[in-house]
Amino acid sequence: MSDVTVLGLGSMGAALAQAFLKAGHAVTVWNRSAVKTQPLVAAGAMGAASLADALRASPLVVICVHDYAATRALLEAPAAQAALAGRTVVQLSSGTPQEARALDPWVTAAGAVYIDGAILGGPYKIGLPDCVILCSGPTAAFERHAAVLRALAGDLRLVGDNIGVAAALDLAWLSMLFGMFGGVAHGARLCRSEGIGGDLYSSVFPNAPQAAWTADVIERDAFANPGATLSVWRAALALIQRQATDAGINTEVPDFAAGLLDRAIKAGHGEEHVAAIVKILE
Ligand code: NAP
């Protein structure tokens, strides 16, 4: 037996597994493409021979794959479903509140406890004191596993037993960031048109580190090899648009941001930093 199983070893899942190992926990890992388990096994994790073995290996199972559909596809396999009984499943893939509400009863019916979580930051944040991870679900299960989960984030919070709240807060936080990206990109253009340098521009918002970082990327023309690409941000924006449609609220703001990102992707900037939207604001 291990303390925790991590399913999904993309850039985020691998960072999660590494943080558990660094904290001294016994970790089992599994990924659809087996090759991604190798660096983790070399670092001390146990590689499971099958998904069902991975599920059975630990009382706590953390899932971080592309989206909820991928999670569901994995867990629906009969062998996996049978292995879920008695586990606590923490879903850290990004999704909408509606997707969390749909997955919760399905996992519960399989005999497991479901906690829906959201990571407010990139893989480089995992394990740091200021990394924020929000969780929604039953308090008793959260408290039972909090000591292990705290290896991932200094700021690990249970935001209530309403299962949709973590996903909703994640999307609201991302919505704030999309407003910031567009605003900083336009501000950078504005400053350039008036002959003002990037350092002077950033100096007027000393208490907004994410905005300063975005302005710095633009100033240094440092759009290559981002932690999350513009296309990945576009996928997150699609979740915000979907939540708005699900909830019947106005979609103008996310639709406006989506228009900018879609034009940037069409212009060939999909693999660049999201601040590359500045390139289409000529
Ligand atoms: P990634 O590097 O693209 O990895 C995607 C992972 O999902 C891989 O392990 C992939 O397996 C797996 N996967 C995709 N489709 C699958 C399927 N149908 N069945 C089984 N496995 C499947 O993405 P990531 O950056 O790790 O992101 C993972 C999740 O974390 C996403 O929901 C993302 O929104 C969320 N997140 C990411 C960040 C970030 O900055 N990266 C920040 C916050 C939240 P293969 O290796 O076999 O393809």
Alpha helices by DSSP H, 2-119: 11-22, 38-42, 51-56, 68-76, 78-83, 97-109
CA separation (Å) from 108 to 7, 74, 88, 104, 229? Answer: 18, 16, 10, 6, 34
Cβ within 8 Å of residue 207, ≥6 positions away: none
pTM of the entire structure?
Answer: 0.95
Task: Give the sheet arrangement for strand 27-30, strand by strand.
Answer: 46-47, 27-30, 4-7, 60-63, 88-91, 113-120, 132-136, 155-158
Name which of 187, 167, 169 is nearest 179 in CA terms: 187
Contact 159, 134 (CB under 8 A): yes
Separation of CA 167 and ligand 1 centre (Å): 16
User: What b/e string do you get for 65-86 counting C-beta neighbours within 10 Å, with b at 16 or more?
Assistant: bebbeebeebbeeeebbebbee
Residue 32 near ligand 1, beta carbon < 6 Å = yes
Residue 119 near ligand 1, beta carbon < 6 Å = yes
Residue 33 near ligand 1, beta carbon < 6 Å = yes
Express each pLDDT in 32-88 by its tens digit: 999 999 999 999 999 999 999 999 999 999 999 999 999 999 999 999 999 999 999
Q: Which atom of ligand 1 is nearest to the CA of 228?
A: 40
Find the helix or strand (DSSP H, E) in which 27 lies. strand 27-30
Separation of CA 94 and ligand 1 centre (Å): 9
Q: Which atom of ligand 1 is nearest to the CA of 15?
A: 26
Express each pLDDT in 142-199 by its tens digit: 999 999 999 999 999 999 999 999 999 999 999 999 999 999 999 999 999 999 999 9
